[in-house]
């Protein structure tokens, strides 16, 4: 019968493998945007302008004024595992850039039409290049696939068109352009809070005014006011927390186990006091400048506020945690969304504790130091 007959095992086509892999990293327009924003910040940009059509499904364009990409690097730009940020395995333990896998642009080129306009300071003109399935391609059939010289400012513009054109099931799962657009705005808003010295803007293509716009001169509290409004800003507390630095304990190598328990960290938090009540918790968590999620941290902070706010009310919390890159494992998931670090429970408790004390005293900024 049909049931007992095994089907032959076949090798998947390379193009299909790549498309499946790309789907693991690029879930929706907002996840593509997160990767691209991180690239702009890695490139040292102080201005990032986003233009969106149809929730990013028709067009997602990100223009920055960062360092640009060298013309000679353009042929391999969208190949998988090409990166300027990592060259040896040991680099992984001291990585300070967002990127390092060289997978984002490659992935995007497998599920969208990707083009790039870029100019470094030393080049006299910009270069434009088109990519498909990891390769540099001609803009039109019959033309040569070389990057073409064009006019352009210093920096890089990444243009993504027709996202998921070749994965119809993914496309049909994302029905609402307005839902995708609000997710895009949410990601930019969070990065704008975390990078108050970078000017961000986001608008719909064809619209005269941006839906989000920040100057390049804010402080964190001002950025929160601008992006989240006065009702949050007026009830905001601020604290700086951290492990006490080990004195004179330079010789870490010989005492690996112990020094690892005493992992060094600092955290900065802006969080609402008991006067502010939201229906839904707004939680911005950055670990080593990467926007991540931690249900463990979220639960711990929710517990703190459950003792302060009435039932059903939630706070706003922006938390920026910095840990020795050596102690963070960013390599657990392709999207790098899930981050694990050494002494996670201990650090989480100490942060929750710090917020708790601050809420209890309702005083102004103060520094708590912890001896671990
Ligand atoms: P990764 O960020 O992991 O290196 P990506 O695929 O995101 O991988 O990017 C590949 C390379 O392209 C980067 O290492 C960087 O050299 C270059 N790049 C991408 N975006 C930009 C940008 N906006 N400005 C300058 N260089 C960029
Ligand atoms: Mg990247």
CA–CA distance, 58 with 11 (Å, rounded to integer):
33
Strands 316-323 and 282-287: parallel
Indicate whether residue 84 lines ligand 1 (CB < 6 A): yes
> Ligand 1 atom closest to Cα of 107?
6
Asked whether 118 and 78 are in contact (CB, 8 A), the reply is no
From ligand 1's centre to the CA of 82, what distance in Å?
9
CA atoms within 13 A on the CB side of 79: 9
What distance in Å separates the CA atoms of residue 31 and residue 293, rounded to the nearest whole number? 14
* Test site for ligand 1: of 22, 42, 155, most ligand atoms within 8 A of the Cβ: 42
Q: Report yes or no: 93 and 86 within 8 Å, Cβ to Cβ.
A: no
- Confirm or reject: Cβ of 65 under 6 Å from ligand 1: no
Distance (angstroms) between ligand 1 centre and the Cα of 336 equals: 15
Kindly state if the Cβ of 262 falls inside 6 Å of ligand 1: no
Length of the chain as a residue count: 372
**DSSP assignment, residue 133?**
T
Strands 135-137 and 59-64: unpaired
Number of alpha helices (DSSP H) and beta strands (DSSP E) in the chain: 10, 17
Quick one: tokens of 53?
């059509």
- Residue 329 Cα to ligand 2 midpoint, Å, equals 17
Find out whether the beta carbon of 289 lies less than 6 Å from any atom of ligand 1: no
> What letter would DSSP give residue 28?
S
Q: Ligand 1 test: best mutation among 99, 121, 123, most atoms within 8 Å of CB?
A: 99
Domains of the chain: 14-218 (3.30.565.10), 229-249+256-367 (3.30.230.10)
- Both tokens of 286, joined, read 């950055």
Residue to mutate, 49, 73, 79, 83, ligand 1, most ligand atoms under 8 Å from C-beta: 83
Q: Kindly list the distances between the CA atom of residue 342 and the CA atoms of 91, 171, 261, 307, 346, in Å, as whole numbers in the listed order.
A: 18, 38, 8, 28, 9
Ligand 1 atom with least separation from CA of 102: 8
CA dist 216 and 185 (Å) reads 18
Each residue's pLDDT expressed in tens, for the chain with a length of 372 residues:
567 899 989 988 888 888 888 887 888 999 999 999 999 999 999 999 999 999 999 999 999 999 999 999 999 998 877 777 666 666 656 555 555 567 889 999 999 999 999 999 999 999 999 999 999 999 888 999 889 999 999 999 999 999 999 998 889 989 799 999 999 999 999 999 999 999 999 999 999 999 999 999 999 999 999 999 999 999 999 999 998 654 444 444 444 444 445 668 999 999 999 999 999 999 999 988 889 888 889 999 999 999 899 999 999 999 999 988 777 765 555 555 667 777 888 999 999 999 999 999 874 443 444 433
Give yes or no for residue 64 CB within 6 A of ligand 1. yes
Of 28, 19, 136, 139, the C-alpha closest to 78 is: 136
Output the CA 43–ligand 1 centroid distance in Å: 8
Please work out whether the CB of residue 35 comes within 6 Å of at least one atom of ligand 1: yes
Helix axes 104-111, 14-25, angle to 10 degrees: 120
SS3 184: helix
Ligand nearest to the CA of 129: 1
Which of 198-201's residues contact partners 24+ apart within 8 Å by CB, and which partners? 198/41, 198/45, 198/46, 198/47, 198/48, 199/46, 199/47, 199/48, 200/48, 200/49, 200/50, 201/48, 201/49, 201/50
Cα R_g (the chain), whole angstroms: 23
**DSSP per-residue letters across 334-354:** TT--B-EETTHHHHHHHHHHH
Please choose from 22, 38, 39 the residue to mutate so as to test ligand 1's pocket, defined by most ligand atoms within 8 A of CB: 39
Return the closest-CA partner of residue 36 out of 95, 101, 105: 105
Which is the closest atom of ligand 1 to the Cα of 97? 2
Nearest to 97 by CA among 39, 37, 48: 39
* 27 in Cβ contact with 3 (< 8 Å): no
Cβ of 99 closer than 6 Å to ligand 1, yes or no, is yes
């Amino acid at each position: 019968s049909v049931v007992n007959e095994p089907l032959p095992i076949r090798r998947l086509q390379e193009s299909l493998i790549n498309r499946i892999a790309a789907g693991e990293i690029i879930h929706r327009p907002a996840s593509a945007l997160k990767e691209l924003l991180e690239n702009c910040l890695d490139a040292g940009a102080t201005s990032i302008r986003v233009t969106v059509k149809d929730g990013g499904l028709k067009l997602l364009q990100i223009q920055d004024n960062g360092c640009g990409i060298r013309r000679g690097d353009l042929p391999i730009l969208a190949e998988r595992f090409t990166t300027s940020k990592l060259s040896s395995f040991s680099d992984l333990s001291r990585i300070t850039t967002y990127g390092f896998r060289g997978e984002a642009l490659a992935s995007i080129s497998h599920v969208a039409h990707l083009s790039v306009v870029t100019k470094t300071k030393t080049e006299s003109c910009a270069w434009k290049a088109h990519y498909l399935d990891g390769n540099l391609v001609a803009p039109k059939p019959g033309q040569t696939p070389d990057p073409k010289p064009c006019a352009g400012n210093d920096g890089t513009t990444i243009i993504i068109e027709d996202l998921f054109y070749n994965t119809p099931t993914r496309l049909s799962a994302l029905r609402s352009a307005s839902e995708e657009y609000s997710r895009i705005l949410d990601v930019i808003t969070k990065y704008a809070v975390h990078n108050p010295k970078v000017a961000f803007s986001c608008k719909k293509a064809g619209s005269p005014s941006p839906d989000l716009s920040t100057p390049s001169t804010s402080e964190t509290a001002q950025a929160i006011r601008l992006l989240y409004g006065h009702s949050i800003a007026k009830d905001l507390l601020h604290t700086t927390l951290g492990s006490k630095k080990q004195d004179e304990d330079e010789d870490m190598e010989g005492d690996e186990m112990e020094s690892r328990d005493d992992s060094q960290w600092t955290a900065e938090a802006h969080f609402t006091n008991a006067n502010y009540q939201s229906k839904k918790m707004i939680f911005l968590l950055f670990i080593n400048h990467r926007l991540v999620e931690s249900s463990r941290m979220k639960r711990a902070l929710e517990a703190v506020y459950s003792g302060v706010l009435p039932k059903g009310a939630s706070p706003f919390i922006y938390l920026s945690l910095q840990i020795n890159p050596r102690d963070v494992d960013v390599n657990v998931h392709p999207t790098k969304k899930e981050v694990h670090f050494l002494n996670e429970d201990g650090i989480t408790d100490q942060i929750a504790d710090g917020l708790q004390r601050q809420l209890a005293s309702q005083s102004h900024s103060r520094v708590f130091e912890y001896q671990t």
